[in-house]
Structure 1
Amino acid sequence: MGIIKAWEKHLEKTKSERTKETYIMLVREFLKFHDISEKEVVDKIKPSLIYRYIDESELNPSSLLTTLSALRYFLKFLLRREYLDKELFESLESAIEEAREELNAKKTPRYPRALTKEEIKAIFEKVKGKKYEKIYSLFLYSGIRLGEYEKLMKENFYLDKSGILWIRLTPEMTKRRKGRLVPILASDKDETLRATEKLLKWIEDFEENFKVKRGVLQVYTDRLSKRLNIDFSIHSFRHTYITNLINSGFPVEVVKEFAGHSSVKTTVETYYKFSQKRAEELVRSFVFS
Structure 2
Amino acid sequence: MELLELWKRHLEKTKSERTTITYTNAIKSFLKKLNINENLLEVSSKELYQYADSSELSPASLLTHFSAIKHFYRFLTKGGFLPKEKLSEIEETIEEIKEDYGLHKLYRRPKALGKKELEIIFQKVKGSKYENIYKLFLYSGIRLSEYKNLRPEHFFLDKSGIYWIHLPAEITKRKRERMAPLIGPSREDTYRFTESLDKCLKNYEETLSTNTGSLQVYTNRLSKRLRIHFSLYSFRHTYITNLINQGFPVELVKEFAGHANIKTTIDIYYRFNQERAKSIVESFLRG
Taking structure 2 as the reference length, the TM-score comes to 0.70
Equivalent residue number for residue 247 of structure 2: 249
The structural deviation recorded for 1:125 is: 0.4
TM-superposition CA deviations, 1:205-246 (whole Å, max 9, x none): 111212221111111000000000000000000000000000
State the SS of the aligned residue for 2:10.
coil
2:182 is equivalent to residue 184 of structure 1: yes
Q: Given that residues 68 and 100 in structure 1 are in contact (C-alpha distance below 8 angstroms), is that contact kept between their aligned partners in structure 2?
A: no
Structure 1 pair 207–75 and aligned structure 2 pair: CA distance change class (3 A): same
In 1, the alpha carbon distance for the partners of 2:202 and 2:143 equals 22
Task: Provide the rounded CA distance (Å) in 2 between the counterparts of 1:163 and 1:101.
Answer: 42
> How far does the alpha carbon of each residue in 1:51-95 deviate from its partner, in whole angstroms, 9 at most, with x for none?
8476379xxxxxx99x97665332445677699xxxxxxxxxxxx
Q: Distance in 2 between matches of 1:133 and 1:101?
A: 35
Q: Measure, in 2, the Cα distance between the counterparts of 1:139 and 1:162.
A: 21
Q: How does 1:48-197 map to 2 (within 5 A)?
A: 52=16, 55=19, 72-76=29-33, 100=61, 108-197=106-195
Structure 1 pair 33/241, CA: closer, same or farther in 2 (3 Å)? Answer: same
Q: Distance in 2 between matches of 1:80 and 1:244?
A: 42
Q: 3-state SS of the aligned residue for 1:34?
A: helix
Q: TM-score, normalised by structure 1?
A: 0.70
Task: Give ranges in structure 1 of 5+ residues lacking alignment.
Answer: 5-26, 37-47, 58-63, 84-96
Number of the residue aligned with 1:35: 10
Deviation at 1:108, TM superposition (A): 4.3
- Whether contact under 8 Å (2:8, 2:20) holds in the other structure is no
The structure-2 alpha-carbon separation of the partners of 1:102 and 1:197, relative to structure 1 and needing over 3 Å to count, comes to closer
Note if contact 1:242-1:259 (Cα within 8 Å) is conserved in structure 2. yes
Contact 1:113 1:239 in 2 (8 A): yes
Could you tell me which amino acid in structure 2 is paired with residue 215 of structure 1? G
Residue 283 of structure 1: how far off its partner (Å): 1.1
Alpha-carbon distance change, 69 to 236 in structure 1, aligned in 2, over 3 angstroms: farther
* Alignment partners' CA distance in 2, 1:223 and 1:32: 35
> Percent identity between the aligned chains?
48
| Matching residue's letter, 1:118 | K
Deviations 1:144-173 (Å, cap 9, x if unpaired)? 100100010011111122212011100011
Q: Distance in 1 between matches of 2:196 and 2:125?
A: 15
CA–CA distance in structure 1, aligned partners of residues 155 and 2 of structure 2: 41
Aligned equivalents of 2:267 and 2:284: distance in 1? 25
Shift of 1:200: 1.1
Distance 2:231 2:10 in 1: 36
Change (3 A) 1:251 1:227: same
Match of 1:208 in 2: 206
Unaligned runs of at least 5 residues, structure 2: 41-56, 66-104
Higher-Rg member (1/2)? 1
Mapped partners of 1:175, 1:114: distance in 2? 22
User: Over aligned residues, Cα RMSD in angstroms?
Assistant: 3.5
Q: How many residues align?
A: 231
